[in-house]
Amino acid sequence: MRNTLKSTLPDYKVRHFIFLVTSSIFVLMCLLAFLFWGFFKIGFKDIIGFIIGYTIITLVCTSFYILLFSKLFKNKWNLGRYIIFGLTDITTIWICNSFFNYYFTNYAKTSLLKSFEQLFIITYAIGIIPSVGLLLLVRNRRLHIFIKEKEEENQKLIFRVLKDTSEHKLITLCGVSGKESLTLFPQELIYLESTGNYVRINYMMEGKVLQKTFRTTLSKMEETLNEYPFLARCHRAFIVNLFRIEEINGTKIRLESVDTEIPVSKTYKADFQNQINIHGILSQK
């Protein structure tokens, strides 16, 4: 439930106007329906005032809260924040409608408390339907975007598989749960870093330095990469790609495309230096 409330929604700030217009049209339709069914037995002039007043209240309140919550959330909406926005907006509209009804359209001369009571169900019934409708629209849009992103990832992966040769084999790295994975060529790895119970993978893909973090140990990753000797361990917390080394300065390594200096520990120094000599790393630079 907690994860569901935190699930992200697409940024719809450019569509606020559309949301306001559709909400207003829906309110108008509902009010006309109530009037048509004889819910309000008032004159035509009063009907116009009633509809205009309630619609303006809806527009003003919804506009205010869209701007307020967009600034508070910095346009980073999720399901939980959307529910807070919807309930706050509808509740404010209900309060304003009740005062408007009491002071301007109180044809039955009811008390303010009775006005609140009468408009509670009506306001929430009218307000919740467009809110839920918009939420479903947004969730559907998010699903569409997610599917599109996955299709693009699959297309890229297909292209990468076509490049797969005996010299360049794709490998898949994953965490202990197996739910997340990363498929890439070993040559694309820059370095792996152990951080507590996690391993952060730094790699180069399509000219960009990217990161992926899995819950696992560096020793597990080392087992997966053991057939690639150019991926050597230089420290209990680091595995580096020897071909990405730009400079070795004492016990520090500088790699291509990243600012992080990688340490070389005494425990791994001899084996690491041996791998450098075998691959002739510094002589190739």
Span 184-218, pLDDT tens digits: 989 899 999 999 899 999 999 888 899 999 999 99
Q: Which residue has the higher pLDDT, 135 or 4?
A: 135
Q: Which residue has the higher pLDDT, 265 or 90?
A: 265
Q: What is the pLDDT of residue 194?
A: 95
List domains and CATH numbers for the chain. Answer: 2-154 (no CATH), 171-284 (2.40.50.1020)
Where does the chain have alpha helices with state H?
2-6, 16-36, 44-72, 79-104, 112-162, 218-224, 266-279, 281-284
- Is the pLDDT confidence value at 107 over 70? no
Secondary structure class of 90 (helix, strand, coil): helix
Q: What is the pLDDT of residue 170?
A: 84
Handedness of CA 166, 167, 168, 172 (dihedral sign): positive
- Is the pLDDT confidence value at 3 over 50? no
Q: What is the pLDDT of residue 160?
A: 56
Dig out the tokens for 186 from the structure. 């070993």
Task: Give the Cα separation of 282 and 285 in Å (integer).
Answer: 5
What is the residue-wise DSSP string for 6-29?
Answer: H-B----GGGHHHHHHHHHHHHHH
Query: Lowest mean pLDDT: which of 120-129, 153-162, 269-278?
Result: 153-162
Q: What is the pLDDT of residue 23?
A: 59
Place of tokens 């510094």: 282
- Is the pLDDT confidence value at 25 over 80? no
Dig out the tokens for 174 from the structure. 């994953």
Q: Which residue has the higher pLDDT, 241 or 39?
A: 241
Which residues sit opposite 156 in a β-bridge?
none
Find the mean pLDDT for residues 27-33: 59
Q: Are 157 and 201 in contact (CB under 8 A)?
A: no
Angle at 100 between CA 81 and CA 13, to 5 degrees: 30
- Is the pLDDT confidence value at 142 over 50? yes
- List, for residues 70-87, the tens digit of each pLDDT value: 788 776 767 777 778 878
